[in-house]
Every structure is written in C-alpha cells, then in structure tokens.
Amino acid sequence: MAGLLSSCCGRVYALLPDSAHPSAQQKTPFGVNRYVLLVIYMIYALLTSSVYFGWRSMSAMLFKSGQFSWVCTGESADTSPEEGETDYLCALQDTKVQSLFTIAMACHFTCSAVAGYLLDTVGPKAVALLGQTFNALAWILLAFSGPNFRSVYPAFVFMGAGADVSVYPTLLIVNLFPGSTALIMATLGACISLSFFVPLVLRTMWESTGISFEAVCIGYAVAGPILCAVVAFFFIPFKAFKGVDNFSACVEAEKLANSPTAQSSPKAVDSPPCDEGASSRGRLAVSHNTERTTPDDEQEKDNTERISLSDLACDPRFKKQKVSFSSQAFTFLYFGICLYFTVCGWVMAYYQEAAGRFLCKDAEYTLEILTPLSTIPCLLFGVVINRIGIMPVILMLNTIGLLTYVCVVAAESVVAQYFSVIFFFMYISIFTTQMYVFVESTFDSAHFGKLIGVASLIGGLLSLISNVLYGDVTVGMLNGDTRPVVIALLAVIILMYPILLAMRTKRNRKKQMEQEDIRSRVLELKAAHAADAA
C-alpha cells in the first residue's frame, strides 16, 4: 500500500512544474509565490477578458435596456414582430444591435497586434492598466447610453479594444513554470473562456433583483475592470518575466557538460564567480590528478569535474543572442501557424453560424451545453502538450476538425450529428491556446507579444470571411444548403496536413540545430579552459 501511495505521489510530482529551473526562481511582485500569483491571474482573466463573447445574454440586455429603440419609428416600425415573439422591437433594431458584435470583434483583433507590440516594448503593467481603462470606459459609456446620449458604439469599440490588451500581460506568467508552459497557457485560456459567462451573470442579477441597467453596468465596471486595474497595479510587474529561452542554453549546456560522454580531459582550472553572490560551487574545476585514486578520491574528482549553472550563465558563449522581429515573423513556421490559425477560425465560426441548418434541436441544445464546458478538454490538452509537444497535438486537432465536418456531411444520421457536436466541443477547447503555445515554444520570447498579436490580427480578421460564407453563400446563393461550403472547408482542412507535417519537420530540425549549437559551445568552453590550464 505504501509503495502504491509513493508511486502515485511520484507521478503527481512529475506533473508539477520544475522548481529548480532558474526561470522558476525569478522575482515576483512582493515575493508572492508563483502558484498564488497564478491563481490571482486566473481570477483576473475570469473577471475581464472577452466578456462580450457571451453574446446571447449581452444582446438580450441591450434589447431590454432599449438600445437602438429610437430607430423603431416610421417605416421601420412596420417590420416589428408580434409582441412577445422576440426581444427586439423592430428588425432594424435587431440589425443595429447585432452589428455591435462585429464592431467589437474588429476592434478586438485590431488591438491584439497593438497589445502585443506594447507588451514587448512598454511592459506588462502599463498594458494591463491600459486594457482595464478601456474595459471600464466601455461599461460606463454603456450604462449611460440612451436616446439623448448615444454612446453605445464607442462603448463596444472600447469593449473590443480592451479584450486582449487587458489579458495579454497575464500570459507572461508561463515563464515562471518551465516545462509546463502549455498547461499554464491552457489554464489561463480556460479562465478566459469562462469569462463568457459574465453577461449571463449580469443578466440574471438584473432580472432577479430589479435594479436598473445603469447600476448593473456601473457595478460591473467597479467589480470587474476597476478591481482588476488595482490587481494589475500591484501584481503585474513593470518588466516581463524573462522567457524560459533566456536560460535554456545554460540549462542544456549544464546537462551536456556534466554528462559522462561530455567530460573533457583531466585538467584543472578555476573560473571566477559570475557575481559577488556566487558560491564556491559556482566555479569550473576539472581534476588534474592522473595518479591511482581511492574511491574517496574518485568521488571528489566527480564533484570537481562538474560545471555549475552559474559558470555557464556568466560565460559569453551562453548569453542569449538578440534577434530581430523580422527574422522571426518572416519564416515558414510563422506563416504556417498564421495560416493554420486562420483555417481554425473559418472552421469554428462557420460551424457555429450554420449549426441550426444541419443539427436537430436536441443536438443544438447539446452543443449549447457543451460549449462552455470546453474548458475541461482545454486543460487535458495542456497536459498532453507538456508530454508529447505542440505539433502532434496540432495535427490531432486538425484531424478532429476533419472528423467534425465529415460528420456534418453525414448529418442525415442523428448519431453523426451528436458525434459532430462532440468533435467540435474538443476542437474549440484550445482554439487560441494552441497558437500561444506554438509561438512561445518556437520563437524568441523577446517578440512573444508581437507575434501572438499579429497572428491574432490576421486570423481574427480573416475569420470574418465565415460571415460571407454563411450569409452570402449558404443563405443567399444556396438557399440554406450547407453541403457545398462544408465540402470546401473539408478540402481546406485536408490541404493543411502537408503544411503541418512540413512545419513539424522544420521545427524539429530547428530544435536539433539549437541542441547541436549548445553542444559545440560546451566543447569549445571546455577546450578553452583546458588550454588556459595548460
């Protein structure tokens, strides 16, 4: 029993992020434990991020508060629905309200690139405060919007602008969890998804308490954006945590230098400590004794032959080299992830828009229930990525997307409809997180913000093509027949396989070259010290 318990504890411990890695030992605001800081960031992301994505409840609140009710006059009033049939007063009001989602989303994706640039240049604290300022302004303007003060448009401009600007700084906490960045990204991504419930909570409070719409909006502005601004001021650092790649060369070099196959010739030399605080073990020493030794001498020799991390950290051979943004962005790997992210956007958006045309009512209801629960597979995928890497998971997700639409083609079968919903539920669970993890693990951390921002801008804006595919093609040209567009999307998903496989090969080769470069620098370091000793 004790052995089983010990084995289980060992397995759980193996899942925990490395605490000995130098990246995990970086200073945090007020010295807060990294796990406590993660919980704070999770609550922060849960309260304010892409809250307007809970659009069904958000639009219902807008109709009930009378937004755009002033357009229902004259001829537009003739198109009013029967009382009690819908939330809106007239078709024009419905059109105006629904357009707010597109406005917010366009601002959201446009500001993603701006947020990414500011994150890498100005710093996370300033970006977080700017984002929460946008969010607070959005809800304050919405609170006072009406016939005499029509501020609903700027409200949703600020709401979209603040979505990524406010939450991007929290993503940098992954640098405190080396070896578990995918799981931490997935955890934050799950919290961002759960923020979609904010409008539902506000709507429920409004309907159950009888307080005014203004009080609901102002109350959330205080309990959400303003509270999170205070949290950002105290717990988000001025400067970003250093990326794991800043330490990777030294950590890998230490492993190589101290492995049996990498031991150099028996020479001895001392190197100065990297800084005044370095301990005596932070020196490079190789035993000079070639005579017969006792076991105790052998143990001492093993200890002196080891190269410590502090030696490698202060050696110029292992300093991280600066690279330009263009050298990262204008590459096959970056173009590939942007293309893949765009295709994911098309697949996801079209399915959500057209679901009512190929799913029965019960399957639609199942989709509505499962969509918020997509946070569960998101966390599971995070664990899997930490185990097998990001590219196998991306290939797996592309296959899940393929199976989703294969089931849509066979949607005459009710069983196929339910399988389609289940596959889609898994597909959307890690939609943006997979892109974040790929960028974080593939490119230089100095440009992380800019790279995810531009990818979000490209993928987000091009995903609006799905509106054309559904509104103009499916509804306008094909009279509601989804099959031609579904088959076209299936073809696009299949065409992604050779690109993704090429990306996997290219990325593996890139990682291998980095390892070989580190190995050569280790041998160069040992040879230099041996020459100095001679």
453-470 per-position pLDDT tens digit: 999 999 888 888 887 888
Could you give the angle at which helices 55-65 and 91-121 cross, rounded to 10 degrees?
Answer: 120
pLDDT at residue number 14: 57
pLDDT band at 323 (very low <50, low <70, confident <90, very high): confident
Q: What share of the chain is helix, strand, coil (3-state, %, to 5)?
A: 75, 0, 25
Q: Which amino acid is at 36?
A: V
3-state secondary structure of 410: coil
Distance between CA atoms of 333 and 330, rounded to whole angstroms? 9
* Res. 15: pLDDT tops 50: yes
Check residue 281 and give its pLDDT. 36
Say if residue 369 is exposed, middle or buried (CB neighbours under 10 Å; 0-12, 13-18, 19+).
exposed
Residues forming a β-bridge with 426: none
Question: Is pLDDT at 166 greater than 80 in this prediction?
Answer: yes
Q: How far is the C-alpha of 397 from the C-alpha of 391, rounded, in Å?
A: 10
Both tokens assigned to 198: 């904010």
C-alpha dihedral sign at 210, 215, 221, 227: negative
Calpha distance 452→434 (Å, rounded): 11
Helices 124-143 + 91-121 axis angle, to 10 = 160
Residue 268's pLDDT is what? Answer: 35
Q: Which is higher by pLDDT, 136 or 524?
A: 136
Measured in degrees and rounded to the nearest 5, phi and psi for residue 412 equal -65, -25
Higher pLDDT, 275 or 202: 202
Whether the pLDDT of residue 135 is over 90: the answer is yes
Residue 284 predicted with pLDDT over 50: no
CB 354 within 8 A of CB 488: no
- pLDDT class of 269 with cuts at 50, 70, 90: very low
Q: State the Cα angle at 374 between 373 and 379, rounded to 5°.
A: 110
| Higher pLDDT, residue 341 or 429 | 341
Segment 135-145 shows an average pLDDT of 93
Query: What mean pLDDT is predicted for residues 60-82?
Result: 71
Which among 123, 129, 136 has a CA at the least distance from the CA of 232?
129
The full set of domains in the chain, from first to last, is 30-69+86-235 (1.20.1250.20), 258-321 (no CATH), 325-518 (1.20.1250.20)
Residue in the block written with tokens 């078709």: 91
Check if the beta carbon of residue 144 is closer than 8 Å to that of residue 222.
Answer: no
Mean pLDDT lowest for which of 413-422, 435-444, 512-521?
512-521
